[in-house]
A and B are shown apart, each in its own frame.
Chain A
Amino acid sequence: MSQPTLAFRNPPDWRKLKVLLWIVPAIFLIALALTMYYTVPPDSQGVVLRFGRFSSVEEPGLHFKIPFGIDRVETVPVRRQLKLEFGFATAGATNRVQHTSRTQHSQEKSMVTGDLNAALVEWIVQYRIDDPRAYLFKVRAPESTLRDLSEAVMREVIGDRTVDEVITVGRGEIEFRALDRLRKMATDYQLGVKIDQLQLKNVNPPREVAGSFNEVNKAQQDRENMINVANGEYNKVIPRAKGEAEQTISEAQGYKLKRINEAQGHATAFNAVLVEYLKAPEVTRMRLYLEAMSEVIPTLASTWIVDDSITQLLPMVQGKSIGGVK
C-alpha cells in the first residue's frame, strides 16, 4: 500500500472519463450539424412536419429545422410537369408511375365503344402537383389512383361514342370531354393535382378488323372516283357538242345571208336590165335571142334547117350517126 501505486490507479480512470466527456458532446454536435438543415430542390416545395404534425410549406433553397428527427421534411416536385402514358410507353420516364409494363399495355388500350364494337386507344395525361398538403396527406397513393381514374374516365367517354367517332371524327371532342371529367374527379378525390392536358395518341380498330376498316376508306375513294370519272365524261362531251351546235347555227346564218344577198344581187341586176329593155323592147329582145343562139348552136351535135315546104324528110332521122351535116 505505497502512496505512488494509489496515485497511479486514479489518473487513468479520470482520463478515460475525460475522453468520454469530450466524445459524447462531439457526437452530439455532429448529429446536430447534420440534422439541423435541409435543402429544397428548385422544382419542389418542402413540407415540414414537427413531431409528425404539419408545420409549414417551404420554398426552394437552404432551410433550418429542429434536429434529431423532431422536424421531418418531405419534398414534393410541384413545378415539374408529370406525365402518364396509357397503352404504350416511351423511353426515359420522368416518374415511376408514368407507364406500366408491356403486358399491361394491351389491357390498357382495349375498350368497348358505345355501339358495342371494340377499339384500341392510347393516350397521355399531363399533370402537376399543385397542393402538396393534399397530395401527401389526403390520399395514400395519389398517382396510381390518378391512373385508375384516367382509365375509368376514358372508358366512360369512349363508351358513349361509336367506333367511327372514336377512330376518325370525334377525337377532339373525346379529348375535351375526358379532360373535363378527369379534372372534376381529381378535385373530388382530393388528389392535390392539377390536370394540364389529356391527349389521344394512336387510336385504331382491333388488329383483326383493321383490314375491313381500310376497305371502307377505299370504298369511299372509289365512290369519289366513279363520280369524278362520270363528271369528266360529261365535261368532255357536252361542251364540244355545244360548240358544234353553235358552228352549225353560224353556218345556217351564213347560208341565210348568202341567199338573201344573192337574191338581192339578182334582183338588182334584173331591174337594171329591165329598165334598159323597156326603153327598146323589140331590139333588146332580138339581140338577146341572137346572142343566146350564137352561144348554143355551135356546141350542138348537129343542126338541121328544113324548109317547111319539104314534107318527107322530117320524121326519120337516126340520132347521132348522121354526122355533122351542117
Chain B
Amino acid sequence: MKRLPIVLGLVALLIVVAIVGDPLFTVHETETVILTRFGAPVGDPITEPGLHWKTPFVMTVNRLEKRILEWDGLPAEMPTKDKTYIIVDTFARWRIGDPSQFFVKLRDERSAQSRIEDIIGSEVRTAVAGHDLIEVVRSDKDRVLPPNLTAEGTTSSVLPVATRGRLALQGDILKAAQPKLASIGIELLDVRIKRVNYNPDISTSIYQRMISERQQIAQRFRSEGEGEAARINGRRGRDLLEVESEAYKQVQELRGDADAEASRIYAEAYDKSPESRAFYGFLKTLDTYRTILGEKTNLILSTDSELFRLLERSKH
C-alpha cells in the first residue's frame, strides 16, 4: 500500500513522457519525415512508412509530401517569334526529390510553388519567344490532311507544317528548368501546355480572317455550281441539236427512198414495152383532158376531130 503512490507517480510520468515527449510516431505512405533537433536536421529522411522511434522531447517530426505534386501556372500572355501574342497556361508535375535539401532551402510547399512559378514561367516565355506560333500549336509534326478531305472539297484550309512542335517545346522547357530546380531539392517531372489562346485584342483579326476564308469557300462552292449548271445546259443544247438533226437526216433518207422506189415501180409498169408506153401516154392524156377542160373552158373543135367526125358535111 505504501508503494501505490510511487507506482502511480511513475505511471503518470510515463504518460507525460508519452504524450508530450512523443517517442513514437507514424510515417504515412504518402509522407517523408525529417527529424530535427532544435531546428537542425538529424540523420537521413525517413521514407519507410510505419511506426518509428525518436528521442522524446528533444527531436521534432517534420512531415514532407512524398507523392507527386502538381503545379498549375496562371495564364500568361507572351509573344511568339512571329510576333503573335498568345495566352499560355502551363502545368507541371514535381516531387520533393531531395527532402533534406528541400527542407533546408525551401522549408515548405508555398515557397516551392513560387520558386517553380518563377523558373518555369520564364523558361516558357523563352521557349515561346524562340518559336513561331505554329510550333506551339502543332504537336504531331508528321500529320498531314487526309487526302479524301481535300478531294471532296470540304476543307479549304491548309494544315501548315511545323518543324518541331509542342512536344519538342515542352522538352526544351523541362530540360532548361530541371537543373535549376534540382539544386533546391525539387525534381521536375514534366511541363505541359494546358491551354493556348489568342490574346483578346488579336482575336478580332483572327475572326476576320476566318470569316473571309469562309466567304471564299462559299464563293467557290457557288461558282462551281454555276459552272456545272452551265456545262449541263450546254450539253442539253448540243444533245438537242444532235437528236433533231439525226431525225431530219433519217426522214429525208426515208422519203428519198420512198420516192425512188415508187418511181421504179411506175417505170417498171409503164416503161416495159413500146405498147405499154403508148398506152400509158394515152391514158395520161385522157386524164389530163379531165383535169384541164372544165367550167371555164370554151372548146372549139372541128368536124375533123374524131369525136365529131360524124357531124362532117358529107364530101362530094
Q: Which residues of A contact B (CB under 8 A)?
A: 49-54, 107, 110-118, 136-141, 144-145, 148-149, 151-152, 155-157, 159-165, 168-169, 189-190, 205-206, 208-209, 211-213, 215-216, 218-220, 222-227, 229-231, 233-234, 237-238, 241-242, 244-246, 248-249, 251-253, 255-260, 262-264, 266-268, 270-271, 273-274, 277-278, 285, 288-290, 292-293, 295-297, 299-309, 314, 317, 319-320, 322
- Complex Cα spacing A71 to B285, Å: 143
Contacting chain A: which of B35-43, B119-127, B149-157?
A: B149-157
Given contacts A151-B195, A295-B290, contact A137 B243 (CB under 8 A): no
Given contacts A212-B211, A230-B228, contact A116 B68 (CB under 8 A): no
Q: Which residues of the other chain, B, contact A159 by a CB distance below 8 angstroms?
A: 137-139, 166, 196
Q: Which residues of the other chain, A, contact B295 by a CB distance below 8 angstroms?
A: 299-301
- Complex Cα spacing A197 to B203, Å: 33
Given contacts A252-B251, A256-B254, contact A222 B225 (CB under 8 A): yes
User: How many residues of chain B are within 8 Å of chain A by beta carbon?
Assistant: 119
Pairwise interchain contact A252-B255, C-beta atoms closer than 8 A: yes
Pairwise interchain contact A274-B276, C-beta atoms closer than 8 A: yes
Cross-chain pairs A/B with CB under 8 angstroms, 14 sampled: A49-B29, A49-B49, A139-B67, A140-B30, A140-B68, A209-B214, A216-B214, A233-B236, A248-B247, A263-B261, A274-B276, A277-B279, A288-B286, A303-B298
Pairwise interchain contact B299-A297, C-beta atoms closer than 8 A: yes
Other-chain residue from B72, B155, B206 in contact with A148 (beta carbon distance below 8 A): B72
Pairwise interchain contact B157-A270, C-beta atoms closer than 8 A: no
Q: Which residues of the other chain, A, contact B114 by a CB distance below 8 angstroms?
A: none
Given contacts A52-B31, A222-B225, A238-B239, contact A208 B159 (CB under 8 A): no
Given contacts A168-B154, A241-B243, contact A301 B194 (CB under 8 A): no
Pairwise interchain contact B29-A260, C-beta atoms closer than 8 A: no
Given contacts A52-B49, A117-B157, contact A270 B269 (CB under 8 A): yes
Other-chain residue from A222, A262, A288, A304 in contact with B283 (beta carbon distance below 8 A): A288
Pairwise interchain contact B279-A49, C-beta atoms closer than 8 A: no
Pairwise interchain contact B290-A296, C-beta atoms closer than 8 A: yes
Q: Which residues of B contact A (CB under 8 A)?
A: 26-31, 48-51, 65, 67-70, 72, 75, 86, 91, 93, 133-134, 137-140, 143, 145, 149, 154-160, 166-167, 192-198, 203, 206-207, 209-211, 213-215, 217-219, 221-222, 224-226, 228-233, 235-236, 239-240, 243-244, 246-248, 250-251, 254-255, 257-259, 261-263, 265-266, 268-270, 275-276, 279-280, 282-283, 286, 289-290, 293-304, 306-308, 311-313
With both chains docked as a complex, state the minimum distance between the C-beta of A127 and any C-beta of chain B, in angstroms.
17
Pairwise interchain contact B283-A220, C-beta atoms closer than 8 A: no
- Complex Cα spacing A317 to B298, Å: 10
Given contacts A52-B50, A53-B26, A305-B311, 14 further A-B contacts (CB under 8 A): A52-B27, A53-B49, A155-B194, A155-B195, A159-B196, A161-B159, A164-B154, A189-B93, A209-B211, A212-B215, A242-B243, A244-B247, A274-B275, A303-B300
Pairwise interchain contact A288-B250, C-beta atoms closer than 8 A: no
Q: Which residues of the other chain, B, contact A160 by a CB distance below 8 angstroms?
A: 138-140, 143, 159
- Complex Cα spacing A242 to B243, Å: 6
Q: Which residues of the other chain, A, contact B270 by a CB distance below 8 angstroms?
A: 267, 270
Given contacts A116-B133, A223-B224, A227-B225, contact A304 B299 (CB under 8 A): yes
With both chains docked as a complex, state the minimum distance between the C-beta of B277 and any C-beta of chain A, in angstroms.
11
- Complex Cα spacing A216 to B134, Å: 26
Given contacts A112-B196, A307-B303, contact A226 B225 (CB under 8 A): yes
Pairwise interchain contact B210-A209, C-beta atoms closer than 8 A: yes
Pairwise interchain contact B266-A226, C-beta atoms closer than 8 A: no
Pairwise interchain contact B143-A237, C-beta atoms closer than 8 A: no
Pairwise interchain contact B50-A216, C-beta atoms closer than 8 A: no
Q: Which residues of the other chain, A, contact B219 by a CB distance below 8 angstroms?
A: 219
Q: Which residues of the other chain, A, contact B194 by a CB distance below 8 angstroms?
A: 148, 151-152, 155
Pairwise interchain contact A139-B68, C-beta atoms closer than 8 A: yes
Given contacts A110-B197, A139-B67, A260-B261, contact A238 B243 (CB under 8 A): yes
Other-chain residue from A52, A140, A169, A229 in contact with B229 (beta carbon distance below 8 A): A229
- Complex Cα spacing A189 to B75, Å: 23
- Complex Cα spacing A290 to B262, Å: 31
Pairwise interchain contact B255-A256, C-beta atoms closer than 8 A: yes
With both chains docked as a complex, state the minimum distance between the C-beta of A226 and any C-beta of chain B, in angstroms.
4
Other-chain residue from A50, A226, A233, A320 in contact with B228 (beta carbon distance below 8 A): A226
Q: Which residues of the other chain, A, contact B289 by a CB distance below 8 angstroms?
A: 292-293, 296
Q: Which 7 A-B pairs have the closest CB atoms?
A: A223-B225, A245-B247, A267-B269, A256-B258, A219-B218, A164-B155, A53-B49
